[in-house]
Copies of this chain bind each other. A is one copy, B any other.
Amino acid sequence: MTFTQRLRKVQHKTQSLLCVGLDTDPALLPRGLSGMPDGVVSFNRAIIDATRDLVCAYKLNLAFYEAMGEYGWHAMRETLAYIGEGVLTIGDGKRGDIGNTADQYASALFDDLRFDAVTLNPYMGRDSVEPFLAYPGRGVFLLALTSNPGSKDFQRLKVGSKRLYERVVHAAAGWNMKKNIGLVVGATHPRELKHVRSLAPSMPLLIPGVGKQGGDLRSAIRYGCDAEGGLAVINVGRSVLYASQEANFAEAAREEAAMLRNEIEVYRKQFFS
Contact = CB atoms under 8 A, between A and B. Distances in A.
A96 B125 contact: no
Contacts of A37: none
Given A69-B73, A102-B63, A125 B112 contact: no
Interface stretch (A10-18, A132-140, A158-166, A251-259): A158-166
B127 A149 contact: yes
Interface in A170-205: 171
B125 A150 contact: yes
Most chain B beta carbons < 10 A, residue from A98, A125, A152: A98
Contacts of A107: 67
B148 A67 contact: no
Contact of A94 (B96, B104, B125, B129): B96
B101 A64 contact: yes
A163 to B, nearest CB: 10
Contacts of A228: none
Q: Please give the count of copies of this chain that the complex contains.
A: 2
A123 B143 CA distance: 9
A63 B128 contact: no
A98 B147 contact: yes
Contacts of A95: 63, 94
A134 B97 CA distance: 25
Interface in A82-140: 94-99, 101-102, 104-105, 107-108, 112-113, 121-129
A99 B209 CA distance: 13
A141 to B, nearest CB: 13
A31 interface: no
A151 B167 contact: no
25 contacts: A25-B104, A61-B104, A63-B95, A63-B97, A63-B105, A66-B104, A70-B70, A94-B97, A94-B121, A98-B146, A98-B148, A99-B148, A121-B121, A121-B123, A122-B153, A122-B154, A123-B123, A123-B143, A124-B146, A125-B149, A125-B150, A127-B150, A128-B150, A129-B150, A157-B167
Leading 8 A-B pairs by shortest Cβ distance: A125-B150, A125-B153, A63-B104, A98-B148, A66-B108, A127-B150, A67-B104, A67-B108
